[in-house]
Structure 1
Amino acid sequence: MKRILVVGVTGSGKSTLARALSNRLGLTYHEMDALYFDGPGWSVNSELVDDVSRLTAGSGWIIDSLGSPEVRDLLWDRADTVIWLDYPKRVVMPRVLRRSVRRTVTREVLFGGNRETWTGWLSREHPAWWSWSQHGTRRREVAHRTRDPRFAPLDTLRFGHPRDTEAWLSSL
């Protein structure tokens, strides 16, 4: 377990788990949203493919993402382990809603200097809407990829509830 993807829907706790794993395993953690968004207006990093290629060429890393379409296959080709936070909507939605309300109220600075805003809640790309609408699609995508022979031998750890993830993390 040296090249790890932590996957799941928005709000499942990918970043939190990836940071904890980084501390436990001594591997470098790269936050995909910070790599993807590089400036005001949620602008996309034009060097994303090169950046991700360079970061994943190393022998040990953790990335918290299924991967945007531009880098998805690259990430999955180079990973040796996928940790799948396969939580139901009833677990994920309260988390993503609390996080987005906190970020909006506190005007927390996010990736590329951006912030969540009250008007942003009306967008289909807002994390709450995205998590709700993409839950089934993401779940099917990850399930398909974990069975795809192109990505074998890829160790997959699939957790259906946060307590299962916490128990596993405690055992490391």
Structure 2
Amino acid sequence: MNFLKSPQRISVVGTSGSGKTTLAKQISQRLRIPHIELDYLHWQPNWVEVPNDVMREKVSQALSGNAWVVDGNYSMVRDIVWGKADTVVWLDYSLSVVISRIIWRTFQRVVKQQEVCNGNRETWKTTFSRDSIILWALQTYHKNRRQYALLLQKPEYAHLNIVHLRYSYGVTSFDGDATRT
């Protein structure tokens, strides 16, 4: 099944390191619709978080169009994102896949000094600190899986087409087993 024939407002979710941004960019290019990365709306320079009310306003404005793909796991704006979305793509990969990806990505970003968002960069110091994105992925992996499984069953999200991807090989061709989980 090719799930990208009719969706126009797509939310891509999954644990940190699962490939949300990469997939959202590919969907954006394929469908020629805007890509909105929630990290850019949430993080100011020097890793300063915007207040929740500001974040909610920024997201509402960013999603005011008729077609978009957004990636991110911010519970403070989930009601806005999923309320406007017609499709949620849940990247639900194994812990080993997620951790290997996030370790590789983090080391690439640190070594190459790649910008993450708004001038922010990952450093060796943060990589090996309690603020490490790798540690964050480990700590939130199981909680996120349980949470999404429950959230996607809620009546307020019954309007959503759920694309639950458990294996990353299905993503390369944009084909997936669309299941209501």
Q: What residue is the counterpart of 1:43 in the other structure?
A: 48
Structure 1 letter corresponding to 2:63:
T
Alignment of 1:59-98 (within 5 A): 59-66=66-73, 68-98=74-104
Q: What residue is the counterpart of 1:119 in the other structure?
A: 125
Gaps of 5+ in 2: 1-6, 177-181
User: Comparing both structures, which one devotes a greater share of its residues to helix?
Assistant: 1
Structure 2 letter corresponding to 1:100:
T
Compute the displacement of 1:169 (Å): 4.5
1:155 aligns with 2:155: no
Q: What residue is the counterpart of 2:179 in the other structure?
A: none
Gaps of 5+ in 1: none
* Cα deviation digits, residues 37-67 of structure 1 (max 9, x gap): 0212x0113421111001112211111113x
The 3-state SS of whatever aligns with 1:12 is: coil
Paired with 1:58 and 1:149, the residues of 2 have a C-alpha distance of: 25
Q: What residue is the counterpart of 1:105 in the other structure?
A: 111
* Cα deviation digits, residues 69-111 of structure 1 (max 9, x gap): 3212111111110001100011111110011011111222221
Structure 2 letter corresponding to 1:94:
S
RMSD: 1.5
Structure 2 letter corresponding to 1:162:
S
Paired with 2:90 and 2:33, the residues of 1 have a C-alpha distance of: 18
**Runs of 4 or more above 6 Å deviation:** none
Q: What residue is the counterpart of 2:11 in the other structure?
A: 5
Paired with 1:64 and 1:23, the residues of 2 have a C-alpha distance of: 14
Identity, % of aligned positions: 34
Paired with 1:71 and 1:39, the residues of 2 have a C-alpha distance of: 21
Paired with 1:80 and 1:25, the residues of 2 have a C-alpha distance of: 15
Paired with 1:57 and 1:141, the residues of 2 have a C-alpha distance of: 27
Q: What residue is the counterpart of 1:143 in the other structure?
A: 149
The 3-state SS of whatever aligns with 2:174 is: helix
